[in-house]
């Protein structure tokens, strides 16, 4: 773990939790400090009401945290277009069919939350231990909010995090062949220097995570593990993952979803959440479905 990152507490009441997290992640612990007054580390993992990643210094951008309750995700949940969204079409959501999804490159979990809000059961994988800690904290706050919010309760029940810490390629290889309905991949793509779309607060996150240089190695184990399809989210101008042409691509203004289909899902004996009594159907379906 890079020593450009340390753990700190938002105030004295969070010091014990912060110290425990620092030990878990093998990171330096600074006590209760203000990120704006700190310059000995480039970033701080701040423990408080919400766990957040903060750049340090007086002119640093705002913090990054996982928010499954308010802000942009709440707006998208209510006004984002529901099943008409490209991501819903890409994973195959339609009618009463909500496939189970493994988001193998979860990041901050935004797409995973969208899929869970649409009705899919979603398991998030994330190999970076700091990002995994952010996801775990976001899930904790989602479940706390779900206790008093009937709209969030079913979403919280459908969203989970694998805490093994295994790289996605290793995790996928360990799964039985064709055992996962949908594998979703959104590997970090190198930021173009001229891009103005990246918010300043996300720069610290990109610096922490870096680009997924081994992204091409994900496609083969993902496709082997999936039953229905593997979906890859890419910038619009990016090459196909591993150089493999998808069955179909759904393009938007700045990005696209490459869909690698394997089998179809039978409409017979299927519950409203897309699973038959015996698990998965073997009936074929065309790529357009």
Name the binding residues for S-adenosyl-L-methionine: 110-111, 126-127, 186
Distance of CA 35 to the CA centre of its chain: 26
Cβ(265)–Cβ(228) under 8 Å? yes
List, as own/partner pairs, every contact residues 160-164 make where C-beta atoms lie below 8 angstroms and the sequence separation is at least 24, other chains included.
160/121, 160/122, 160/123, 160/124, 161/106, 161/123, 161/124, 161/126, 161/132, 161/135, 161/136, 162/123, 162/124, 162/125, 163/132, 163/136
Q: Which SS3 state, helix, strand or coil, does residue 182 take?
A: strand
Mean per-residue pLDDT, 256-285? 51
Sorting pLDDT into bands at 50, 70 and 90, what band is 286? Answer: very low
C-alpha–C-alpha distance, residues 123 and 208, integer Å: 23
Q: What is the pLDDT of residue 41?
A: 93
pLDDT at 285: 31
pLDDT at 232: 98
Quick: pLDDT tens for 73-110: 776 777 666 778 899 999 999 888 999 999 999 999 99
Q: What are phi and psi of 79, to 5 degrees?
A: -130, 15
Domain ranges of the chain: 5-55, 71-261
pLDDT averaged over every residue in the chain = 85
Whether the predicted pLDDT of 288 surpasses 70: no
DSSP secondary structure, 120-158, as one string: --EEE----HHHHHHHHHHHHHHHHHHTT-TTHHHHHHH
In the sheet that 248-251 helps form, which strands lie side by side, from edge to edge? 159-161, 122-124, 101-103, 180-185, 226-235, 255-261, 248-251
| Structure confidence by residue, pLDDT tens digits, 241-253 | 999 999 999 997 7
Residue 81 is predicted with a pLDDT of 63
Q: 71-81 in b/e burial notation, b at 16+ Cβ within 10 A? A: eebbeebeebe
Q: Is the C-alpha dihedral spanning 263, 281, 88, 206 positive or negative?
A: negative
Binding residues: 110-111, 126-127, 186
Indicate whether 128 pLDDT > 60: yes
Contact 146, 156 (CB under 8 A): yes
- The yes-or-no verdict on residue 192 having pLDDT over 80 is no
Helix (H, G, I), strand (E, B) or coil at 186: coil
Which of 85-89, 135-139, 273-277 has the largest mean confidence? 135-139
pTM of the model: 0.85
Per-residue confidence (pLDDT) for residue 276, from 0 to 100: 34
- What is the C-alpha to C-alpha distance for residues 101 and 231, in angstroms, rounded to an integer? 10
Q: Under CATH, which number does the domain 71-261 receive?
A: 3.40.50.150
Tokens (6 digits) for 204? 């610290």
pLDDT for 233 equals 96
């Amino acid at each position: 773990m890079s020593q450009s990152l340390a753990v700190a507490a938002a105030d004295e009441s969070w010091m014990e939790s912060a110290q425990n997290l620092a030990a878990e992640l093998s990171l330096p612990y600074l006590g209760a400090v203000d990120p704006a007054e700190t310059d000995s580390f480039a970033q701080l993992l701040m423990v408080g009401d919400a766990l957040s990643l903060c750049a340090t210094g007086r002119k640093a951008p705002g913090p990054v945290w996982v928010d499954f309750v308010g802000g942009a995700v709440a707006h998208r949940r209510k006004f984002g277009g529901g099943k008409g969204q490209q991501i819903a079409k890409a994973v195959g959501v339609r009618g009463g069919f909500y496939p189970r999804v493994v988001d193998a490159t979860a990041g901050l979990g935004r797409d995973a939350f969208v899929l869970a809000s649409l009705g899919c059961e979603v398991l998030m994988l994330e190999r970076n231990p700091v990002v995994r800690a952010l996801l775990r904290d976001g899930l904790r706050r989602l479940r706390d909010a779900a206790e008093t919010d009937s709209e969030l309760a079913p979403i919280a029940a459908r969203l989970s995090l694998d805490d093994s810490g295994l790289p996605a390629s290793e995790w996928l290889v360990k799964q039985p062949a064709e055992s996962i309905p949908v594998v979703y991949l959104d590997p970090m793509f190198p930021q173009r220097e001229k891009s103005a779309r990246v918010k300043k607060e996300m720069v610290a996150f990109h610096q922490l995570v870096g680009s997924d240089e081994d992204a091409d190695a994900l496609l083969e184990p993902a496709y082997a593990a999936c039953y229905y399809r593997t979906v890859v989210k890419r910038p619009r101008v990016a090459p196909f993952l591993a150089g493999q042409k998808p069955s179909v691509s759904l393009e938007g203004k700045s990005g696209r979803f490459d869909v690698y289909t394997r089998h179809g899902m039978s409409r017979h004996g299927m519950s409203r959440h897309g699973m038959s009594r015996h698990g998965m159907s073997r009936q074929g379906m065309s790529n357009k479905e």
